[in-house]
Amino acid sequence: MDKAFGLKVTVINTSPKKEKEAIGKLGADSFLVSRDPEKMKAALGTIDYIVDTLYLRFIPWVHSLAF
């Protein structure tokens, strides 16, 4: 849906095995493995909006990505 609005879409997942599906099938522009602290740190400040499919209370780092 977000791609239809011309937005850049980044999928964040705990498993690197999901990257092919996220980019190939879902059309994401990029993929982040949430268990990779260096890549997550590099993503700080690069995400404007987060559409989550999980309860964010259990993912404390996700809020810092948009700021």
Q: List domains and CATH numbers for the chain.
A: 2-66 (3.40.50.720)
Q: Is pLDDT at 56 greater than 90 in this prediction? A: no
Across the range 41-47, mean pLDDT stands at: 88
More confident position, 67 or 62: 62
What integer best gives the mean pLDDT of the chain? 81
The confidence band for 4, taking pLDDT boundaries of 50, 70 and 90, is: confident
Predicted TM-score (pTM) above 0.75: no
* Apex 53 CA angle, 35 and 5, nearest 5: 105
Q: Report the distance separating Cα 67 and Cα 62, nearest Å.
A: 10
Across the range 6-18, mean pLDDT stands at: 90
